[in-house]
Amino acid sequence: MMSHPVMELENAIKKHALAAMKAEKEGDLEVALHNLRMAIEALRKIVTYYPDHPLVGMYSRYLRQYEKKAKEIESKLIPVGQAEAGEDEEYRVEVRDAGGNGSTPPFVMKEKPNVTFDDIAGLEDAKEAIREAILYPVKRPDLFPLGWPRGILLYGPPGTGKTMLAAAVANEVEGEFLYVDAASIMSKWLGEGEKNVRKLFDYARARAKEGVPVVIFIDEIDALLGVHSNEVGGEVRVRNQFLKEMDGLQDKSSKLHVYVIGATNKPWALDEPFIRRFQKRIYVPLPDKEARRELLRLLTRKIKLASDVDLDELAEMLEGYSGSDIRDIVQDAYMITVKELFKNGGKGEPRPVSMKDFKRVIEKRMPSVDKRMLKMYEEWSKRFSAV
Ligand SMILES: Nc1ncnc2c1ncn2[C@@H]1O[C@H](COP(=O)(O)OP(=O)(O)OP(=O)(O)O)[C@@H](O)[C@H]1O
Ligand SMILES: [Mg+2]
Strands 176-181 and 108-109: antiparallel
Q: Which of 62-71, 96-105, 255-264 has the weakest average pLDDT?
A: 96-105
pLDDT of 22 strictly over 80: yes
- Indicate the class that CATH gives domain 5-77: mainly alpha
Q: Is residue 72 within a helix (H) or strand (E), and if so which, with residue range?
A: helix 56-77
Residue 214's Cβ-count burial label (10 Å; 0-12, 13-18, 19+) is: buried
Element housing 284 (H / E): none
Q: What is the DSSP string of 119-149?
A: GS-S-HHHHHHHIIIIIHHHH-GGG-TT---
Which atom of ligand 1 is the closest one to the Cα of 6?
29
Nearest to 354 by CA among 309, 290, 289: 309
pLDDT grade, residue 47 (50/70/90)?
confident
**Can you tell me whether residue 152 is helix, strand or coil?**
strand
**HSE-up (13 A, CA, CB side) for residue 252:** 2
228 has pLDDT over 60: no
Residue 3: what pLDDT? 61
Ligand 1 pocket residue status of 162, Cβ below 6 Å: yes
pTM of the full predicted structure? 0.75
Q: Which atom of ligand 1 is nearest to the CA of 119?
A: 4
159 lines ligand 1 (CB under 6 A): yes
pLDDT value at position 78? 61
Helix, strand and coil in the chain, % to nearest 5: 55, 10, 35
Rounded percentage of the chain residues whose pLDDT exceeds 70: 86
Residues 6+ apart with CB under 8 A from 38: 12, 16
- Which residues of the chain does CATH 1.10.8.60 include? 289-365
Instruction: Please give the pLDDT value at position 234.
Output: 64
Burial of 82 (0-12, 13-18, 19+ CB in 10 A): exposed
Q: Which of 50, 176, 45 is nearest to 109 (CA)?
A: 176
Task: Dump the DSSP string for 348-386.
Answer: S-PPPB-HHHHHHHHHH---SS-HHHHHHHHHHHHHH-B
Q: Which numbered atom of ligand 1 lies nearest the CA of 265?
A: 25
Classify each residue of 171-180 as buried b or exposed e, where b means 16 or more C-beta atoms within 10 Å of its C-beta: bbbebbbbbb
| CA dist list (Å): 28 to 52, 304, 354 | 36, 51, 52
Mean pLDDT score, 7-34: 87
pLDDT tens-digit readout, 84-101: 333 333 322 333 333 334
Asked if 331 contacts 379 with a C-beta cutoff of 8 angstroms, the reply is: no
pLDDT of the residue at 354: 97
Distance in angstroms (rounded) separating the CA atoms of residues 224 and 231: 12
Q: Are 182 and 221 in contact (CB under 8 A)?
A: yes
> Greater confidence, 43 or 166?
43
pLDDT at position 106 is: 64
- Give percent of the chain above pLDDT 90: 44
Instruction: Write down the CATH superfamily of domain 108-286+374-384.
Output: P-loop containing nucleotide triphosphate hydrolases (3.40.50.300)
CA 182/CA 217 separation, integer angstroms? 9
Collapse the DSSP code of 313 into the 3-class scheme (helix H, G, I; strand E, B; otherwise coil) and give the result: helix
Q: What H or E segment, with its residue span, contains residue 233?
A: none
For residue 188, the CA-to-ligand 1 centroid distance in Å is 28
253 versus 154: the higher-pLDDT residue is 154
Say yes or no: CB of residue 122 within 6 Å of ligand 1: yes
Q: 322 CA to middle of ligand 1, Å?
A: 8
Give the model confidence (pLDDT) of 173-201 as tens digits: 788 888 888 877 776 555 678 888 998 99
Task: Report the C-alpha gap between 325 and 329 in whole angstroms.
Answer: 6
Instruction: Answer yes or no: are the C-beta atoms of 108 and 200 closer than 8 Å.
Output: yes
Residues forming beta bridges with residue 262, ordered by sequence position: 153, 218
Residue ranges, comma separated, of all CATH 3.40.50.300 domains in the chain are 108-286+374-384
The verdict on the CB of residue 58 being under 6 Å from ligand 1 is no
CB-CB contact of 333 with 356 (8 Å): no
Q: Please say whether the dihedral angle defined by the alpha carbons of residues 171, 102, 68 and 233, taken in this order, is positive or negative.
A: negative
For residue 272, how many C-alpha atoms fall within 13 Å in the half-sphere facing its CB?
Answer: 1
On whether the CB atoms of residues 329 and 287 are closer than 8 A, the answer is no
Domain(s) labelled CATH 1.20.58.80 in the chain stretch across 5-77
Output the average pLDDT for the chain: 84
Q: Which CATH architecture has domain 289-365?
A: Orthogonal Bundle (1.10)
Pocket test for ligand 1, best of 53, 153, 163, 266 (most atoms within 8 A of CB): 163
CA 83 to chain CA centroid, Å, is 42
Point out the ligand 1 atom lying closest to the alpha carbon of residue 154.
21
